């Protein structure tokens, strides 16, 4: 790849560029809300990934957007990752993608072929999602940023909020953790080729298959794991009403990510996630690197589902049969003093 | 003692530079790393804690933090007094900032106006923000039309900081119609906010 076809890294690309959850919450909690529209099913007061607006008895529109600076130096792959990440919010709701609009920030002086490659990658993912890329908006900016605004459909009787899990549910994660650590290591030239390949494969995989399989099971809640990392997204899922146990040995991960954490190739975002939910988390004799993995910000991460206990095994098996590295990583419990407890292994 | 300047570097670069310096040192010793944000301090501290090295950190000013670690056998060789540690995240603490004048410090008012302007701008750049800022006496001018810090106060409000100006002070200075940002408050609430705060800061 010629030098001018490469993207320049930003201070932290992908979902590591997200604003810290603590700061965000302060601002959001003070915004004026206006009157509640009864057709707005999700989005008025939850921390959900998308807004859902009901338009008839069995049809609701899901609306979402996501964009960020590059976390990879190949523009085409970056486009695919950014699109897969934006589309994921629809899948977390249990919806189907219909249309998408490009969101583009691009320096005027940069080679336009780079922009072409980014948008090519994005367009391919929208197509794979079964949607239509219907336009977009471009802004001149000092740094590259790309993403999508996405519209999808969902049946309001069969959609998934992130905070409707039930005590006893099994938590299933459908992708490997560690893409934040691997991309960070890659940025300083420390990531192995194998680790980077795994991270890119994971980030460019749509959550479509996982979402479509999920709909056939009694799943009570779902969210996608992105910039806040597994533990902060789980914290939102618990919503002050539940507690959870996580079994570290069950968590799917890119193996090298733990090595990079042990080498302290840590992101600022992971530390912000730790500052945000650390007080609610107890690690029961879990190695440092595993702690970091559970706080690791994910770009285009997997779905985290809360499924009725009896069906969990069958759901994991079907997800795995579809080629996904899904695992049952923990359980939901009744609310307790310690909101999240991480054990080294699943009890026998 | 080796000094590593990692100001302007995003994580994980400060850690990487510090590790390289320690490697070069080749044995026990002290390494001082300069960084420009608190998250980098926390990530460096985590490394030292994991390695069992003695570590201390200190905030010099808004953009300058210093992390000192003693690499080697174990800590305790020198009974060095630990400087102010900036590790714990103070976001959940309730800090109230009181702006009692449109001047910062006493002695020279022209200088004071410059300082207060710079103070409010610097507040907007902090990772940890106060919960509330109270404006009273001539401080009330700063939330009104013509204030040189209006944009900064507005940004603070947008970042979630509660902005309150004393109503009596607005009346007294005929500024009631000119308030541009935040809410109006009374002495009861001012007293209550101060009493309930973990820290009250008056620049």
pLDDT-derived band of residue B189, with 50, 70 and 90 as boundaries? confident
Output the DSSP codes for A23-79: HHHHHHTTS---PPPTTEEESSSS--SSEEEEEETTEEEEEEEEEE--SSS-HHHHH
Of A58 and A9, more confident: A58
pLDDT-derived band of residue B27, with 50, 70 and 90 as boundaries? confident
Q: At which of B30, B56, B71 does a domain end?
A: B71
B65 and B108 in a single domain? The answer is: no
pLDDT at position B192 over 50: yes
Do the domains A170-343 and A3-158 match in fold? no
Q: What percent of chain A has pLDDT over 90?
A: 77
Of residues A27, A267, A275, nearest to B160 (C-beta): A27
pLDDT-derived band of residue A34, with 50, 70 and 90 as boundaries? confident
Question: Are A249 and A344 contacting, i.e. CB atoms less than 8 angstroms apart?
Answer: yes
Structure tokens at B107: 């002695």
Name chain B contacts of A266, Cβ cutoff 8 Å.
11-12, 15, 43, 46
Structure tokens at B136: 């009273």
Instruction: Delimit the domains of chain A by residue range.
Output: 3-158, 170-343
Distance of CA A335 to the CA centre of its chain: 25
Three-state SS for B110?
Answer: helix
> Topology of A170-343 in CATH?
Phosphoribosyl-aminoimidazole Synthetase; Chain A, domain 2 (3.90.650)
Q: Which of A106-110, B84-88, B146-150 has the lowest mean pLDDT?
A: B84-88
Integer Cα distance of A290 and A261 in angstroms: 8
B47's CB contacts (< 8 A; 6+ apart) are A264, B15, B18, B19
Average pLDDT, integer, range B107-131: 88
**Predicted-complex ipTM score:** 0.73
Tell me whether B91 touches chain A (CB under 8 Å): yes
pLDDT at position A9 over 60: no
Q: Which pLDDT value is given to residue A46?
A: 57
pLDDT at position A50 over 80: no
Structure tokens at A40: 């707005």
Structure tokens at A97: 């993608």
pLDDT at position B12 over 80: yes
pLDDT-derived band of residue A348, with 50, 70 and 90 as boundaries? confident
Of residues B10, B15, B158, nearest to A27 (C-beta): B158
Give the total number of structural domains in chain B. Answer: 2
Distance of CA B39 to the CA centre of its chain: 13
Average pLDDT along chain A: 91
pLDDT digits (tens, 9 = 90+) for B149-180: 998 898 888 888 889 999 889 988 989 888 99
Average pLDDT along chain B: 84
Residue B83: inside a domain, yes or no? no
Question: Are A56 and A310 contacting, i.e. CB atoms less than 8 angstroms apart?
Answer: no
B189 and B101 in a single domain? The answer is: yes
pLDDT at position A131 over 90: yes
> Directed axis angle between helix A75-93 and helix A112-128, to 10°?
30
Known catalytic residue: A183?
A: no
Residue B57: inside a domain, yes or no? yes
Average pLDDT, integer, range A255-261: 96
Domain with B20 in it: what CATH number? Answer: 3.30.110.40
Residue B24: inside a domain, yes or no? yes
Residue B82: inside a domain, yes or no? no
* Closest residue in chain B to residue A29, using alpha carbons only: B160
B111 and B50 in a single domain? The answer is: no
Name chain A contacts of B160, Cβ cutoff 8 Å.
23, 26-27, 29-30
Three-state SS for A100?
Answer: strand
Roughly how many angstroms between the first and final C-alpha of chain B, as a whole number? 35
Of B86 and A38, more confident: A38
B66 and B102 in a single domain? The answer is: no
Q: Is B46 within 8 Å of A264 when comparing Cβ atoms?
A: yes
Integer Cα distance of A92 and A207 in angstroms: 8
Average pLDDT, integer, range A322-338: 96
pLDDT-derived band of residue A48, with 50, 70 and 90 as boundaries? low
Tell me whether B39 touches chain A (CB under 8 Å): yes
Question: Are B31 and B18 contacting, i.e. CB atoms less than 8 angstroms apart?
Answer: yes
Residue B43: inside a domain, yes or no? yes
Q: Which of A54-63, A164-173, B158-167 has the lowest mean pLDDT?
A: B158-167
B120 and B196 in a single domain? The answer is: yes
Based on C-alpha coordinates, what's the Rg of chain B? 21
Of residues B12, B89, B129, nearest to A266 (C-beta): B12
Q: Which pLDDT value is given to residue B73?
A: 54
Name chain B contacts of A268, Cβ cutoff 8 Å.
10-11, 37, 39-40, 43
Question: Are A174 and A212 contacting, i.e. CB atoms less than 8 angstroms apart?
Answer: no
**Residue (of B11, B67, B16, B58) closest to A295 by Cα position:** B11
Residue B89: inside a domain, yes or no? no
Question: Are A253 and A284 contacting, i.e. CB atoms less than 8 angstroms apart?
Answer: no
Query: Which CATH number applies to A3-158: 3.40.640.10, 3.40.47.10, 3.50.50.60, 3.30.1330.10?
Result: 3.30.1330.10
Q: Which residue range forms the structural domain that includes residue B11?
A: 2-71
pLDDT at position A117 over 50: yes
Tell me if the bond preceding B12 is cis, omega within 30° of 0. yes
- How close is the nearest chain B Cα to the Cα of A25, in Å? 9
Q: Phi and psi of B36, rounded to 5°?
A: -115, 10
Residue B54: inside a domain, yes or no? yes
- How close is the nearest chain B Cα to the Cα of A262, in Å? 9
Average pLDDT, integer, range A190-198: 95
Q: Is A22 within 8 Å of B46 when comparing Cβ atoms?
A: no
B120 and B164 in a single domain? The answer is: yes
Q: Which pLDDT value is given to residue B107?
A: 86
Q: Which of A57-61, A224-228, A293-297 has the lowest mean pLDDT?
A: A224-228
Question: Are B201 and B135 contacting, i.e. CB atoms less than 8 angstroms apart?
Answer: no
Integer Cα distance of B73 and B53 in angstroms: 8
Residue B118: inside a domain, yes or no? yes
Name chain B contacts of A191, Cβ cutoff 8 Å.
none
Tell me whether B194 touches chain A (CB under 8 Å): no
pLDDT at position A111 over 70: yes
Q: Which pLDDT value is given to residue A7?
A: 56
Domain with B153 in it: what CATH number? Answer: 3.40.1260.10
pLDDT digits (tens, 9 = 90+) for B66-98: 999 998 754 333 333 333 333 333 444 689 999
Average pLDDT, integer, range A295-321: 97
């Amino acid at each position: 790849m010629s030098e001018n076809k490469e993207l320049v890294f930003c201070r932290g690309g992908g979902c590591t560029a997200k604003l810290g959850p603590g700061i965000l919450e302060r601002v959001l909690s003070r915004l004026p809300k206006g009157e509640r529209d009864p057709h707005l099913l999700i989005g008025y007061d939850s921390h959900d990934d998308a807004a859902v607006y009901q338009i008839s008895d069995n049809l609701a529109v899901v609306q979402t957007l996501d964009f960020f600076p590059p976390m990879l130096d190949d523009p085409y792959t970056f486009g695919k990752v950014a699109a897969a990440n934006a589309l994921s919010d629809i899948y977390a709701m249990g919806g189907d993608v219909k249309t998408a609009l490009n969101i583009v920030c691009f320096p005027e002086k940069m080679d336009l072929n780079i922009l072409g490659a980014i948008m090519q990658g994005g367009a391919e993912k929208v197509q794979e999602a079964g949607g239509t890329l219907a336009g977009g908006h471009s802004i001149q900016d000092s740094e590259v940023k790309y993403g999508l605004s996405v519209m999808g459909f969902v049946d309001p009787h069969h959609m998934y909020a992130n905070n409707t899990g039930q005590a006893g549910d099994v938590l299933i994660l459908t992708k490997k953790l560690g893409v934040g650590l691997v991309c960070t290591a890659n940025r300083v030239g420390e990531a192995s080729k194998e680790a980077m390949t795994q991270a890119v494969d994971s980030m460019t995989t749509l959550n479509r298959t996982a979402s479509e399989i999920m709909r056939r099971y009694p799943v009570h809640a779902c969210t996608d794991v992105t910039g806040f990392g597994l533990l902060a997204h789980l914290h939102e899922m618990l919503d002050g009403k539940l507690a959870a146990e996580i079994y570290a040995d069950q968590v799917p991960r890119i193996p090298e990510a733990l090595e990079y954490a042990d080498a302290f190739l840590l992101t600022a975002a992971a530390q912000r996630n730790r500052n945000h939910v650390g007080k609610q988390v107890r690690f029961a004799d879990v190695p440092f690197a595993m702690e970091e993995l559970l706080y690791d910000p994910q770009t285009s991460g997997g779905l985290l589902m809360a499924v009725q206990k009896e069906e969990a095994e069958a759901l994991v098996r079907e997800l795995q049969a579809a080629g996904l590295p899904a695992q049952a990583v923990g359980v939901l419990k009744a609310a307790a003093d310690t909101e999240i407890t991480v054990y080294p292994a699943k009890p026998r | 003692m080796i000094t590593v300047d990692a100001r302007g570097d995003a994580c994980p670069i400060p850690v990487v530079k510090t590790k390289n310096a320690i490697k070069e040192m080749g044995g026990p010793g002290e390494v001082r790393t300069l960084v420009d944000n608190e998250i980098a301090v926390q990530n460096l501290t985590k490394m030292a804690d994991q390695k069992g090295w003695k570590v201390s950190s200190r905030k010099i000013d808004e953009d300058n933090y210093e992390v000192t670690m003693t690499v080697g056998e174990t800590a305790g060789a020198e009974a060095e007094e630990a400087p102010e540690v900036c590790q714990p995240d103070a976001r959940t603490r309730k800090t109230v900032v009181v702006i009692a004048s449109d001047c910062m410090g006493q002695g020279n008012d022209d200088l004071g106006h410059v300082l207060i302007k710079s103070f409010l701008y610097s507040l907007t750049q902090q990772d940890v923000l106060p919960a509330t800022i109270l404006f009273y006496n001539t401080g009330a001018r700063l939330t009104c039309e013509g204030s040189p810090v209006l944009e900064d106060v507005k940004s603070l409000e947008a970042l979630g900081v509660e902005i309150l100006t004393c109503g009596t002070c607005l009346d007294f200075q005929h500024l009631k119609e000119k308030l541009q940002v935040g809410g109006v408050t009374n002495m009861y609430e001012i007293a209550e906010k101060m009493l309930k705060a973990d820290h009250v800061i008056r620049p």
